[in-house]
Structure 1
Amino acid sequence: MPERLCSNPVWPCAMCGAASCLSGFSGLDVVIHGSSGCYFYPASLLQTPIHATLIVEEEVIFGAEERLRRVVGEIAGTGRPVAVVQSCVPAVMGEDIGKALEGIEAFVVDSPGFTGGMEEGYRRAISALAPTVDPGETGVTIDGLNPIDPFWRGNMLEAERLVGAAGGTVAAAIAAGPLNSLRRCGAAVLQTNPGLASGIGTPAGSLLGIPATETAFERLADLRGLDVGAVLDEADAAEERIGRASDKFLSRSDPPTVAVFGEAAYATFVSDALVRYLDAEVVVRAPRNGEGAVTSLNAIRDMILETEPGLILGSSFEHAVAPDVPYVGITFPQRGRVRLRARTLAGIEGSLSLMDDVLNACQETKRL
């Protein structure tokens, strides 16, 4: 039995990843074919409108094709295409979803929770939507956006801002924007999260961190002939601002000992940034996914209690273990916090925002 199932509270399963990806596109209705539990968990994280068949016990035994067709048929009456995400129970039952939806315009994403973690479902959803590069499109594709990520909207806005500053345009964003934009993706691709690369086009590079952003835009200049001078100048100015603030902090305080928990690409970026700017000692770097993934609440607790970090970056789970330790949220869930404005970790503003939060967290606690 795979380790990561829907019941894992720390890192969502493939079904959640597929629903998250699909929910980012406008002009598409998303239906989870499963029980109420399969619906409410991703719905609580996404906080965007999605639908569900909400199958009941009798249908687990006798089949839920009739309910699926009825629910999807009603939603399809709006005129928008529908994406159906399969959960564990219908998959185990072996339901013929394609036959049940015959005559209805629908994308079917086979991503039950037991097939893997969030990234697997995200990629299966992208594969079902089949984005394509338009050879005549001169705009840039923004990749790696995930609506389950508390930074996804800010990452999208920052990527669009930087591309505009270089005189370019955004052709499509994955996973965001109109569904039909996936038919005209630009060949040059900027990654807001390399761990969720869709695989289309030619990667220009990652936007996680100022050095990476500079490299990505230099590559974008080669790929698309954009004038990236303004972006590079802004990046240099941001580095100086961070350097001055960090030096001021270090003149009064020792470098922090840090524990970082989060999606692998974010955890690497954050750890590197804190070492770069604050000479931090990273005593824990625990990715949620990939090699060395840590998704056990007990393991998370043990890591924090054993290393006693002076700063924690992660989710509500880590904050609950050591509520008196300076804390910065970099991954979901962020329980008990209102998050209305767009926040970014990507691009130039992402690094400025991260260091803002880190320095303020450390200083606020020091003053208590």
Structure 2
Amino acid sequence: MQNDQHTPCENPLWPCAMTGAVACLSGFEDLAVVVHGSSGCYFYPASLVGVPIHGTFLVENEIIFGTESRLAEVIRELEDRYPRIAVVNTCVPAIMGEDIGALASDGQVLIVDSPGFLGDFEAGYCRALAVIAPEVDPDAAGVNIDGICRTDPFCRGNAIEARRLLNLAGAPVAATFCLDRYDAVHRAAPFTVGTNPDLASGVGMACGSLLGLDAIGETFQALAAEVDGVDARPIAEEIAWTDARITRACEKYLRRFDPPRVAIAAWGSYAAFAADLLDRYLGADIACIAARNDSGAGSGALVQTTDLSVVRDRIRNTEPDLILGSSYERAIDPRAAFVGLTSPLRGRVLLSSRTLVGIEGALWLMDEVLNACINRNRRPESESVDLS
């Protein structure tokens, strides 16, 4: 596996620690998030999280003479509107070394020191969650949902599908990390299921993932063994129905077309899920996997990178029929069929709550893949794009 050495702040494909912290904190509906930095530091995460956040919008004289008074002014404007305020420190104030901890003395203000140079998106997400400091209540009923993230195009849909499956199995939902009220994560249940293993909170006993049909079955078997009242049989029935439905659709496709050659770029866990699904049901040739984060060991097709030039070279060298990724990958080879798997997804209206996890997630992904590939195979040669 290859690994690039670029600083996260300089990479076009994957946000830095500051954005990861904002993504975590903005999932709490009763928590105001303040980006303590320049307008550029504010507008990038604001364009991704999909909910209102706030900023100090520092200018030159504040950077020269000190930023604390500006931050205090913004906090005063918000303190009567929100029970709590989270301040995300960015690169310039962090480098200046100002002590803004005194602003958190009353307990209403939380300080999250997460400048972009501290690491990648996941590092910032975990740093913010550590400041939130979730707590497990041993007597709390239900199961927590993990891995929900505001910058994920599947954020709301993943939460809805996870709740649906838990309810189907007779398990009430406890806390959702991170799409909940602030107080809810301080009385989390002892057991947790994940939607994105790359954003595991570590809260409660991890019972497995809802990403992929096999994983779903194993997770609910584990829940049934640990949590009274959980019945895994309705889930097993849905998995069997889904497997048969996808198999029939893919067999029909393969009677007309060859298996696609595929390039995937996304979170490591999302990429692995998509690669397994396409290999299992379509016999797809997984020619390239560009994991945005450190996803552990992988095959020769895997490269862990946030360097667009590396991704561009891999895609052009493999000449895929199908690309799963973001708008960046789509622009590299417009001839290929495309399915959006990670942000940013520019130039598209995305109103519905799409899901990648659970039963509906597997069905959605195969819907998108089959339709995109059919449309590409039907495209007249005259519409092909010259990339030379």
Match of 2:203 in 1: 200
Question: C-alpha distance in 2, partners of 1:4/1:232?
Answer: 44
Q: Provide, for residues 94-118 of structure 1, a one-character-per-residue CA deviation record: whole Å limited to 9, x for no partner.
A: 0111124444611111110000010
Bigger Cα displacement from structure 2, 16-25 vs 91-100: 91-100
1:152 aligned residue: 155
Equivalents in 1 of 2:41, 2:102: separation in Å?
22
- 2:20 partner letter: G
CA apart distance, 1:36: 0.3
Is this contact kept in 2: 1:13–1:114, CA < 8 A?
A: yes
| Contact 1:138–1:224 (Cα < 8 Å) also in 2 | no
Q: Is 1:106 the counterpart of 2:133 in the alignment?
A: no
C-alpha contact (below 8 Å) 1:27/1:80 kept by paired residues: yes
Separation in structure 2 between the aligned mates of residue 37 and residue 7 of structure 1, nearest angstrom: 13
Distance in 1 (alpha carbons) for counterparts of 2:280 and 2:361:
15
Q: What is the match of residue 383 of structure 2? A: none
Q: How does 1:278-289 map to 2 (within 5 A)?
A: 278-289=282-293
What aligned pairs does 1:1-368 form with structure 2 within 5 A after superposition? 3-103=6-106, 105-225=108-228, 226-290=230-294, 292-368=303-379
Residue 253 of structure 2 aligns with an amino acid whose one-letter code is F
How many Å apart are 1:46 and its aligned residue? 1.4
Deviations 1:203-258 (A, max 9, x none): 11011101101110111101113012111101110000001101111111111110
SS of residue matched to 2:262: strand
Which digits, 9 at most, give the CA deviation of each residue in 1:155-211, with x for residues without a partner? 000000000001111011000011110111111100000111011111110111011
Which digits, 9 at most, give the CA deviation of each residue in 1:332-352, with x for residues without a partner? 000001111100000111001
Identity of paired residues, percent?
Answer: 50
Note the aligned Cα RMSD (angstroms).
1.1
Alignment partners' CA distance in 1, 2:121 and 2:336? 29
Q: What amino acid maps onto 2:339 in structure 1? A: V
CA distance in 1, matches of 2:373, 2:142: 41
Q: Provide the rounded CA distance (Å) in 2 between the counterparts of 1:305 and 1:171.
A: 46
Secondary structure class of the residue paired with 1:348:
helix
The amino acid across from 1:114 in the alignment is: F
Deviations 1:318-367 (A, max 9, x none): 00111121000000000001111100000111001000000000001112
Distance (Å, rounded) in 1 between the aligned partners of 2:94 and 2:121: 17
Q: For 1:306, what is the secondary structure of its paired residue? A: helix
On the 8 A contact 1:14/1:111 being kept in 2, the answer is yes
TM normalised by structure 1 equals 0.98
Q: Secondary structure at the match of 1:177?
A: coil
Q: Matched residues in 2 for 1:33 and 1:101: separation?
A: 14
The answer (yes or no) to whether the contact 1:66–1:100 under 8 Å persists in 2 is no
Q: Tell me, in whole angstroms, the C-alpha distance in 2 between the residues paired with 1:132 and 1:185.
A: 6
CA distance in 2: counterparts of 1:20 and 1:336, whole angstroms: 22
The 2-side partners of 1:145 and 1:307 are apart by 32
Which residue identity does 1:174 align to in structure 2? F
Determine if contact 2:36/2:90 at 8 Å carries over to the other structure. Answer: yes
- Of residues 221-230 and 353-362 in structure 1, the stretch that sits farther from structure 2 once superposed is 221-230
The separation in 1 between residues aligned to 2:103 and 2:340, in whole angstroms, is 43
Query: C-alpha offsets along residues 15-36 of structure 1, whole Å, 9 cap, x if unaligned?
Result: 0000011101111100010000
CA contact (8 A) 2:32 2:82 kept: no
Q: CA deviation at 1:89?
A: 0.5
CA deviation digits over 1:50-104, x for unaligned, max 9? 0001111112222100001110121112142001101000110001111244446
Gapped runs of 5+ residues in structure 1? none
- Secondary structure in 2 aligned to 1:25? coil
Any conservation in 2 of the 1:36–1:54 contact (CA below 8 Å)? yes
Partner secondary structure for residue 141 of structure 1: strand
